[in-house]
């Protein structure tokens, strides 16, 4: 009898342990939707990838928590979708999932009613679930309310917050700009409201920019300093990049840089100025000067572990930046760089990766595949992530040649 009692106790303990946390379905999304319809629930979808750090963190630390499980198991049918395998590829495309984790709340018809992006603490995740259950707080409902003309201040601020949580930076900036234009700039001179200014992407020498610059001491006593400097640095950076892309001489660019430094010097000033010079020479199609400066910068890291990454980045920009499209000379120089990299053991992985991309750009399937296979095998032996989308996209591109 005692033995039976012990077994029963063990069974109860087992049920308790395994009932903690979110109970994720193991079938298809459609099966989850069908179950949700029968139970009159929404579907909670955790879209993830195997290489995503925040995804792993939530799976290990957040989803197993008892309070999270109690709330989600009561209110949702939950399912995890790997967006790089099986039906997950189509689901990621259908719901425009571009960052991970993306947390979707769907009705039984498969329509998104609420969305969050990024790793969330337990309380934030639960609050997101509560918002999904409240028709007035769902991201889709809030968007419709704004589109219909509701401009109540508290509502608009909450809308901006929900857009940020959904990683919808473009829409967040648009709504922030509209709110900023509708009220006196002084209304935003506090910690809660200044984020609107930071989101809005104010332009250099605009009314808003001048107000922020001229009231530096007062604002830094009231608002987040990171947001304050992001307003100035963002406006200056956008202005200077436009100048670098359009001016006719490096002297004119340098003159404008010095003028902007009178307003503010970023802690990333050196990096900013280097980037502006590169942008200028690319806009002038002076590829020789661009390569000269890039290689000179890379040589500062010679005999250091990240040297091959610096070389790879030079060639990768030729591959990825559309400003190089249609020009054979920079592509040939980047290919020479890749072959130089694989001449030594330290550059086997990054050099072959670079060559596979460059030959893909050149339309040479045979050589692209050859170098990709060497990269893949070498990277796998070194414990690299061959299932990362940056790798699979190259293979897909080569296959489609």
The answer to whether the beta carbons of residues 330 and 314 sit under 8 Å apart is no
Strands in 5-83 per DSSP E:
24-25, 42-48, 76-82
Beta carbons within 8 Å of 233's beta carbon, 6+ residues apart: 264, 266, 268
CA distances to 139, 233, 303, 321, 330 from 353, rounded to whole Å, are 40, 35, 20, 17, 18
| CA gap 316, 303 in Å, rounded | 21
- d(Cα 380, Cα 224) in Å, to the nearest integer? 44
The label of the residue with tokens 């909450």 reads 158
Concatenate the DSSP letters of all residues of 268-287 into one string. THHHHHHHHHHHHHHHTT-H
Helix (H) or strand (E) holding 160: helix 153-165
Are the beta carbons of 77 and 44 closer than 8 angstroms?
yes
Give me the phi and psi of 286, to 5 degrees please.
-90, 75
Q: SS3 for 82?
A: strand
Q: Are the beta carbons of 21 and 70 closer than 8 angstroms?
A: no
Phi and psi for 205 in degrees, rounded to 5? 65, 15
Indicate the DSSP class of residue 203: P
Dihedral of alpha carbons 390, 395, 398, 400, sign: negative
Q: Can you tell me the distance from the alpha carbon of 26 to that of 393, in angstroms, rounded to the nearest whole number?
A: 28
The strand pair at 102-106 and 76-82 is best described as: unpaired
Chain CA centroid to CA 258, Å? 32
Cis (ω within 30 of 0) for the bond into 46? no
Q: Using the structure block, give the residue that is written with the tokens 């296979």.
A: 373
Q: Report residue 20: phi and psi, to 5°.
A: -75, 150
Owner of token pair 């290489």: 51
Residues serving a catalytic function are 52, 55
């Amino acid at each position: 009898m005692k033995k039976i009692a012990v077994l029963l106790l063990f069974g109860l303990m087992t049920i308790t342990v395994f009932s903690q946390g979110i109970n994720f379905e193991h079938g298809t999304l459609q099966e989850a939707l069908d179950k949700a319809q029968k139970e009159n629930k929404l579907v909670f979808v955790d879209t993830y990838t195997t290489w995503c750090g925040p995804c792993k963190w939530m799976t290990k630390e957040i989803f197993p928590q008892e309070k999270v499980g109690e709330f989600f198991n009561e209110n949702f049918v939950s399912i995890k979708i790997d967006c790089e395998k099986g039906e997950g590829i189509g689901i990621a495309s259908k719901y425009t999932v571009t960052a991970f984790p993306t947390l979707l709340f769907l009705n039984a018809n498969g329509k998104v009613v609420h969305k969050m992006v990024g790793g969330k603490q337990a309380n934030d995740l639960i609050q997101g679930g509560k918002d999904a259950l409240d028709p007035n707080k769902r991201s889709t409902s809030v968007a419709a309310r704004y589109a219909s003309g509701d401009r109540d201040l508290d509502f608009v601020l909450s809308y901006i917050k929900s857009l940020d949580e959904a990683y919808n930076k473009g829409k967040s900036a648009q709504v922030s700009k509209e709110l900023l234009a509708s009220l006196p700039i002084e209304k935003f001179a506090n910690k809660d409201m200044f984020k609107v200014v930071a989101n809005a992407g104010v332009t250099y020498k605009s009314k808003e920019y001048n107000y922020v610059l001229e009231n530096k001491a007062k604002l830094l006593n009231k608002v987040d300093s990171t947001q304050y400097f992001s307003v100035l640095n963002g406006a200056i950076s956008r202005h200077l990049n436009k100048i670098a892309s359009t001016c006719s001489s490096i002297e004119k660019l340098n003159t404008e840089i010095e003028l902007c430094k009178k307003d503010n010097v970023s802690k990333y000033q050196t990096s900013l100025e280097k980037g502006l010079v590169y942008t200028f020479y690319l806009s002038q199609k002076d590829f020789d000067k661009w390569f000269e400066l890039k290689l000179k910068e890379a040589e500062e890291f010679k005999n250091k572990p990240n040297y091959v990454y610096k070389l790879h980045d030079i060639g990768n920009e030729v591959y990825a930046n559309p400003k190089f499209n249609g020009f054979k000379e920079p592509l040939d120089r980047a290919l020479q760089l890749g072959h130089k990299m694989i001449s030594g053991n330290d550059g086997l992985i990054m050099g072959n990766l670079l060559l596979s991309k460059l030959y893909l750009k050149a339309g040479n399937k045979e050589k692209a595949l050859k170098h990709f296979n060497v990269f893949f095998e070498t990277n796998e032996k070194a414990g690299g992530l061959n299932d990362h989308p940056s790798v699979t996209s190259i293979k897909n591109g080569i296959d489609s040649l």
